[in-house]
Every structure is written in C-alpha cells, then in structure tokens.
C-alpha cells in the first residue's frame, strides 16, 4: 500500500543519512517529508474507509433493488390476474346482453326515460339506457362495511320504487346484485356480522330489496344475489377503482326472460 511505501522511503532516508555521515537532506526538510508522509497515510486510510463504506452501500442498494424488482413482478402478476377477471366479467356481461337483448326496446315505453331523469337528479344512481341496468353506488347507499341504508339513499330508492310500480313497469322483474371491492372485512365487531365480502354484498342487495318491498314492489318480482369482489368493473388497484367496484346493480328484466331462480318461465325446462 502507499502508506507502507512512504514509511519505507522515510526510513531509508534516515538510514542513508545516518550511515553515510553526510547530511545531504536538511533535518527540517526531512521532518517535513515525514509529516507529509503521515498526512498522506491518514488521507489514504480515510479514502480506504470511505471506499469500504461505498462498497457496503452499493451491496445494500443491490439487495434493495432485487427486492423491489421481485415486488414489481408480484404486482404485475396480480395486475394481470385482475385484468383477466375484469375481461371475464365483461365477457359475461356481453353474453348476458346477447342472450337477453339490448336497447331501449327491452324496457316498456317511457320507463327508460323516467329512470334516466331520476339518474340526472341523483348522482349515486347510474342508468344505462342501452341495457336497462341501474347501478347504485354503495358508498352513498351505505356507511363503510355496513348494510343499513343511509338516510340520503332512501328518498332516491323511494322514487325508484314509484317508477317500478307504474302500470307500464308492473310486469318487470328485478335482479338485485351486490358487489364489493377486494379488501378484507376489518374490525372484529363487523366481522361478527359479515364474516366476509360474500355476506356483505348479499346483505346490501337484501337491504335494497327489502326497502323496495316496503315501498310497494312485490317480493315475487325480485331476486337477490351477492358476488362479493368477484365481478369487478375496474382493477382493484386504486381507491377510485375500488369505489367503482362497491356497488349494487338492479337488472330490470321482462317476465319471459330466464333468470336463475325463475326458470319456470321456460316451458322447455319444466314439462
């Protein structure tokens, strides 16, 4: 190392002066060289220590980079899985539309217009005129992790029921489906009532059905389903997307449309 060479050089100079009897190098000069040698030795040691610290830091950064790459790979896998589930859901919806028909003609005349006007007045209600599906935002209908209807939602559902009680809509049936995001139910007291998202999604759909029943919609016209987090309309990757997935959907279907639980409408099934 440089420090060792400098020490040997200094020692050699001292020996040379001592053995030769010649004072070719003044003592002050030699002292300065010795001091300079010590100074360079200290700097060399400091640089070696800094180099060791940098090497350790580089190894730490390489380890963290490897962990980050693994986490990114895991997130990418989860995202692809969520996108696959979303694609499957969209495919199911497309099959539903193809099977049951699309367009305003699927609803009685005037009912679609009334629902569209109702949706304009209540932002929590989304009505799709091409399919006749009404979607209700559960963040407005319910408090977090609860299935009891919030006060602000009751007036909207009461008006919704009024439309469905009209003579033009009296033959329509309702399939009410509850959905959640993919987050686990938190809080011990809440989990005692809703152990998982299946229970919560079904309870919310039931709450909507019960309220409509109280407001004059006959129970025989309604079916209820809970899908938990398994039919997302957006990847559960952001708070905004998770909010979209927390919803209750109301499918308005004609009496001759086959729906699970109402297969008596198909004469070919039961003979």
pLDDT in tens, 73-103: 888 888 888 788 777 777 766 665 555 544 4
Mean pLDDT of 63-71: 90
Mean pLDDT of 191-210: 92
Residue 189: CB atoms within 10 Å: 7
Condensed to tens digits (0 to 9), the pLDDT of residues 100-123 reads: 544 444 677 788 888 889 989 988
CB 237 within 8 A of CB 80: no
Mean pLDDT of 238-258: 81
CA 20 to chain centre: 85
Mean pLDDT, all residues of the chain: 79
The candidate with the shortest Cα–Cα distance to 212, out of 174, 264, 158, is: 158
- Euclidean distance between CA atoms 31 and 122, whole angstroms: 92
pLDDT over 90, % of the chain: 17
Tokens representing residue 29 in the block: 């000069």
Q: How confident is the model at residue 11 (pLDDT cuts 50, 70, 90)?
A: low
3-state secondary structure of 216: coil
The candidate with the shortest Cα–Cα distance to 75, out of 235, 186, 227, is: 235
- Euclidean distance between CA atoms 112 and 241, whole angstroms: 27
């Amino acid at each position: 190392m440089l420090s060792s060479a400098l020490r040997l050089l200094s020692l050699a100079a001292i020996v040379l002066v001592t053995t030769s009897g010649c004072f070719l190098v003044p003592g002050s000069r030699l002292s300065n060289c010795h001091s300079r040698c010590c100074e360079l030795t200290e700097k060399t040691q400091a640089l070696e220590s800094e180099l060791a610290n940098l090497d350790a830091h580089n190894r730490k950064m390489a380890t963290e980079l490897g962990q980050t790459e693994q986490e990114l790979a895991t997130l990418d896998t989860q995202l692809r899985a969520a996108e696959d589930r979303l694609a499957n859901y969209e495919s199911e919806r497309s099959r539903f539309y193809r099977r049951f028909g699309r367009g305003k003609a699927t609803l009685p005349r005037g009912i679609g217009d009334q629902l569209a006007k109702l949706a304009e007045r209540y932002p929590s209600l989304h009505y799709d005129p091409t399919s006749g599906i009404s979607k209700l935002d559960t963040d407005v209908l319910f408090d977090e992790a609860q299935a009891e209807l919030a006060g602000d939602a009751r007036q909207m559902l009461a008006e919704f029921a009024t439309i469905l009680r009209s003579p033009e809509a009296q033959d329509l049936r309702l399939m009410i489906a509850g959905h959640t995001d993919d987050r686990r139910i938190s809080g011990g007291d809440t989990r005692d009532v809703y152990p998982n998202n299946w229970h919560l999604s079904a309870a919310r759909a039931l709450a909507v059905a019960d309220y409509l029943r109280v407001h004059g919609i006959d129970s025989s016209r309604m079916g209820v389903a809970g899908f938990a987090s398994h039919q997302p309309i957006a990847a559960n990757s952001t708070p905004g997307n998770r909010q979209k997935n927390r919803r209750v959907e109301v499918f308005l279907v004609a009496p001759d449309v086959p729906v699970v639980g109402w297969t008596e409408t198909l004469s070919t099934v039961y003979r």
